[in-house]
Structure 1
Amino acid sequence: MDLLLRRALVIDGTGEPARAADVAVAGDRISAVGAPGELAPGPGTEVVDLDGLVLAPGFIDVHTHYDAQILWDADLTPSSWHGVTSVVMGNCGFGVAPTRPEHRDIIVRTLENVEGMSMEALDAGIDWCFETFPDYLAAIDRRRKRLNVGAFIGHSPLRLFVTGGEERPATPAEIDTMRGLVREAVAAGAIGFSTSRQPAHQGAYGRPVPSRFAETDEIYSIAEVLGELGKGVMQVSIGPGMFVDQFSELAVRYGIPVTWTALVARADKPGAALRTVERGAALPGEVYPQIACRPIVMQIGMADPTPLGEIDVWKEVLAVPRGERAGLYRDADWRKRARPATLDAWSHRWPKTSVEETRAHQDVVGIPLDRLAADRGTTPFDLMLDLALSDDMATRFRIVLDNDGDAEVGDLLADKRTLLGLSDAGAHATQLCDACYSTHLLGHWVRERAALSLEDAVWRLTGHPHRAFRIADRGLVRAGFHADLVAFDPATVGTTPVERVQDQPGGADRLVVRSTGVEHMWVNGVATRTGGKDVAGAAPGRLIRG
């Protein structure tokens, strides 16, 4: 016995009631869970008195985009501050591998436009020491890392690798090549395969991301590989021709778990999300709709108007370099074309859009743009552009995009047919920070709102993703499982206010949220956080192989 955790209130991740217990760790595994005082330490055992703190499995975040950040940030912050001990990246069909040298710029520009990543950070931070997906996993495996990491192989880099970026259906020979590369990736340890049909996913130069040019048969053919191998999860970002009926069909035909994003609750469409859950649940197959426990709120500047890419005319903006975008905003002809489409598409968002950060317009911070525009005799569309231009593009707007149906979010969290995810950690770093979803769930939805029990919340963060994603020996406090553990105070666990920091490669900034009440963490039996502070230099994380 190397470590004995005494006087814990153990919530084991199964959903069973909390119980007082001691937990023993030998090497990287939990060796025993016993009644208080039942486990005796040896002469060299480290004993930690948890004094009634909740001891839970380390949290598993199944929806991150750390594919690039892991190449420069061994700590994978902010996730590592919030009780998360394992992350899955490569979601939504995106990633950095496989990538040929001639396609690196397209991959970077795709991540910039779709996932709101800083091009400066990507250019300065990515070490292109790989080309194939197995090369990439090997590079991740070699690197020091605080957390455990698993990865999907994404459809967009895969398709770019095979078709060279041509915007067309793949040939039968190209589909066979992609199938072979997915087979190779899963054999090397990929968690599964991810893809996107999402119309808002506009990539390099404002063009649709490569996966959107795939015909449905191509997606089915690649999914078949997972079925043939008998392993791997399929993750899909919804879009035309790919929704609950197709997810059910994929799951049944190939015997694979399918998870899809995103199921959101909108205040202007009450009950719609729950009706979708019912519709999906009536169909056969192992299918998990992913939900978020926080409103999806972004801070965007007009230099990086990523969410507006869902509107066709804004694809012209994403197609030009950031330094040239102000010129389009000043162009009267472009405004004339963009105005009606933008006003209509965002009609439900203008009341939830306001200035958040600015150098020149402090007098209007927090005022909804629709009201401010009416007072000034203009439109919210024109006002947003004029405020940005008059502040040298420095003004940032707070926009509530989705998941603002608060009561329905609580109902979705209580419905065990949904899977908690969508933190998007590693993406949209200058625009939002939802990597804190775990501590927000425990503080807001459990303690403050009592929307679900502490045991159910821990199950959502641990035992449920363990089962849905087939993550072996992680996600439960059970003898034989890896000693990924978090000890927190249920009376104080939560989040701090969001803050902007400049700590990314190339001098790029990002938004971060810190935690409260997360006192201790262990990854593979090694302490990574003690007394509420990170252990400097701790890097016990491992590659999670599917």
Structure 2
Amino acid sequence: MGHHLVGPTVWEARVTDLLIHGGLIIDGTGNDPAAGDVLIEDGRITTILQPQTPPHHQAATVIDASGLVVAPGFIDIHTHSDVSVLLDGRAQSKIHQGVTTEVTGNCGFSPFPLTPSHLHDHLALLAGIGDDPVQPTWTDLDGYADAVEHAGIALNIAPLVGHGQLRIATAGLAEHAGTETIGAMRALLSELLEQGAFGLSTGLTYVPSRYADSAELEALCTTLAGYGRLYATHSRADGFAGAAEASTLGRRTGARIQFSHLAINQPGLWGQAESLLKIFDDGRRGGADIACDVYPYDASASALTQYLPPWVQEGGVDTMRARLADPGILARAESELAAGWGAGGRIPWHWDRVVLSRTDGVLDAPEGATVQDAAAAAGVSPARYTLELCREGGNRVQVVLFYRVEHDMRTFLRHPHTLIGSDGSALPYQQHGRRPHPRAYGAHARVLGRYTRELGDLELTTAVHKMTGAVAERLGLTDRGVLRADAVADLVVFDPETVIDHATYLEPCQPPSGIRDVVVNGELVLAGGIQTAARPGRVLRSR
């Protein structure tokens, strides 16, 4: 075990804050489980003891975990909870899954840095996450952290810097970044890393992150390597070319690379997961420190604007709207979009696989309908309908794409260098008819239930490791993600025989079963499956 079970004679009798008694401890290291009692005081694990029946230890609160697993709280390595935790700090969809820390700022989106002169473009980019808008009272990580902690959150946030916002802050929406601009980006990135950001993320299919060339990325990753921080990338090109680019970047700069939401979205390449993983394996053998994350679903979700031809998106949302107001340009865009999407438009459209998940009433588009059906009802082609939705709704219009196969996802899940991330946000259960991707409500429970217990793709200790200790190590978190004396008391108590997700694409806002108790920074935020009023979460800093 990563911890040592200490006999009762070593224990000094004193009242602790919390005792979790009689559970099977899976400590997050990947080692074998062992029965034990976990004692918590002042927000940290003080001791892990051999279990006693009845317990001889005194505690203000005692949790009987008999027949249940006690594990570190899950750390979701890929989320978009930057804004959602400000709108509703309960973080219900994640707390009920046992998630105690959210890694935010992914895919080039983050709520900082912000510059007043470019605030409109900053907020337009942030809308791509899919949340209701907020009015920032901050410009940097320190200010954002103050706002979040003042509002009160039930879980922790580990923030990354979004490259899209970094670029807007220094270059606006300009396509080319020269030496001076890249220098300004590196300087601003360094300031945010000094404030404790865990790294940088890119969203290389989104404007303006997509404009970054290899020289720009190498310069930024060199800065990250100097701080020992993470580079998380939403790939520029789908699949194989993106994997090769990320591996090369890691080898050349020495930066720690995290390849985000690994998937194969091209129908012609479905079933080739092993070949894609070989690129990462070869990269590691060549000296790149590269790993991946995956979420356990065969569909993705994002802003609809992501799928437009690059030239349509140039200049941001306002420029796009003006451009598409020209009938000739609109006709050209419709023709190109109809031919396909992705790098070079290589991926053919299956409009019956594209579901509108959020429209905010734009063009009276029905949420939950496919683009194919909604376009037919409107009497226009799916490509024209998509362009009109993007012109009117900008980045607010969100879709779910059923462009993956489970075989590939399961192959990725089993690989030793993949971690579990949801690519979802911490959301309330009440969504007023909206249908977010079910990953926000069920990803971690789904891994434990379907892919561990039911299908046997992972051993339970391995599944927990991919959600806890392995993620903490990747982030550089030294006092979370494992159960040991003096670690921060982020824990989850769950039933390995019943844990399962219930969120579906049509009815996503449903809690999982089997997650009973969740502790964040030593405080119970889920007790017996019922969320408490506690808001002990913090914005964590990398030091």
Same fold (TM over 0.5): yes
Alignment of 1:200-211 (within 5 A): 200-201=205-206, 208-209=207-208, 211=209
State the Cα distance separating 1:531 from its structure 2 match.
0.9
Deviations 1:109-160 (A, max 9, x none): 1122x3333xxx21xx3342x1233333344455422111111122222222
Q: Match for residue 153 of structure 1?
A: 161
Change (3 A) 1:433 1:102: farther
The answer to whether residue 182 in structure 2 is matched with residue 175 in structure 1 is yes
Relative distance call for 1:133 and 1:541 in structure 2 (3 A) is: closer
- Residue 82 of structure 2 aligns with which residue? 67
Which of residues 202, 221, 224 is equivalent to 1:223?
A: 221
- What amino acid does structure 2 have at the position aligned with 1:33? I
Task: Check whether the contact 1:71–1:127 (CA below 8 A) recurs between aligned residues.
Answer: no
8 A contact 1:440–1:495 mirrored in 2: yes
**Higher mean C-alpha displacement, 410-419 vs 15-24:** 15-24
Deviations 1:152-180 (A, max 9, x none): 122222222222443321333x3333222
Query: Does the aligned pair in 2 maintain the 1:64–1:88 contact within 8 Å?
Result: yes
Deviation at 1:438, TM superposition (A): 0.6
- Does the 8 A contact of 1:343 with 1:380 survive in 2? no
* Counterpart-to-counterpart distance in 2, 1:27 and 1:50: 21
Post-superposition CA distance 1:487-531 (Å, at most 9, x none): 112232222335899xxxxxxxxx634222211000111100011
Displacement, 1:483? 0.9
- CA distance 1:226–1:539, change in 2 (3 Å): same
State percent identity of aligned pairs: 26
Residue 243 (structure 1) shift: 3.6
1:317 to 1:193, Cα distance in 2 relative to 1, 3 A: closer
Structure 1 residue 237: deviation in Å? 1.9
Alignment-derived partner of residue 79 in structure 1: 94
Matched, 1:544 2:540: yes
- Counterpart position of 1:116: 130
CA-CA distance at 1:407 after TM superposition:
1.6
Q: Which secondary structure state, in structure 1, belongs to the residue aligned with residue 439 of structure 2? A: coil
Q: Which moved more, 1:490-499 or 1:377-386?
A: 377-386
2:175 counterpart of 1:132: no
2:6 aligns with none
1:264 aligns with 2:263: yes
Offset of 1:366 from its aligned partner?
8.1
CA–CA separation in structure 1 for the residues paired with 2:490 and 2:519? 5
TM-score by length of 2: 0.80
Partner residue of 1:434 out of 428, 432, 439:
439
Contact 1:146/1:540 (<8 A) preserved: yes
Letter in 1 for 2:437: L
1:398 Cα deviation after fit:
7.2
The one-letter amino acid of 1:438's match is H
What SS does structure 1 have at the residue aligned with 2:416?
Answer: coil
For residue 540 of structure 2, what is the amino acid of its counterpart? Answer: I
Q: CA RMSD in A?
A: 4.1
1:356 positional shift: 8.5
Q: Which runs of 4+ in 1 moved over 6 A?
A: 314-317, 354-361, 365-368, 382-386
> Which has the higher mean CA deviation after the structures are superposed, 249-258 or 310-319?
310-319
Report the secondary structure of 2:168's partner residue: helix
How many residues of Structure 1 are paired with residues of Structure 2 in the alignment? 504
Give yes or no for the alignment of 1:280 onto 2:280: yes
CA distance in 1, matches of 2:219, 2:328: 47
Correspondence for 1:406: 406
How far apart in 1 are the matches of 2:355 and 2:233? 32
Amino acid in structure 1 at the alignment position of 2:91: L
Cα distance in 2 for partners of 1:61, 1:316 equals 32
Q: Distance in 2 between matches of 1:192 and 1:426?
A: 21
Q: Which moved more, 1:251-260 or 1:433-442?
A: 251-260
| Distance (Å, rounded) in 1 between the aligned partners of 2:383 and 2:230 | 41
TM-score, normalised relative to structure 1: 0.79
Q: Structure 1 residue 212: deviation in Å?
A: 2.8
1:182–1:441: structure 2 CA closer, same or farther, 3 Å change rule?
Answer: same
The match for 2:212 among 196, 211, 214 is: 214
Residue 278 (structure 1) shift:
0.7
Question: What is the letter of the counterpart of residue 149 of structure 1?
Answer: I
Find the partner of 1:444 among 443, 450, 460. 450
1:232-271 alignment to 2 at 5 Å? 232-239=229-236, 243-266=242-265, 268-271=268-271
Aligned residue in 1 for 2:351: 350
Range that drifts further, 240-249 or 176-185: 240-249
Distance in 1 (alpha carbons) for counterparts of 2:171 and 2:380 = 46
Q: Summarize the Cα distance change of 1:342–1:315 in structure 2 as closer, same or farther, 3 Å threshold.
A: farther
Q: Which residue of 1 aligns with 2:12?
A: none
2:297 is matched by which residue type in structure 1? R
Pick closer, same or farther for the CA change 1:167–1:238 going to 2, 3 Å.
Answer: same
1:241-270 C-alpha deviation (Å, 9 max, x unpaired): 984444334434444311122420445423
Change in Cα spacing, 1:352 to 1:164, as seen in structure 2 (3 Å) is closer
Contact 2:95 2:154 in 1 (8 A): yes
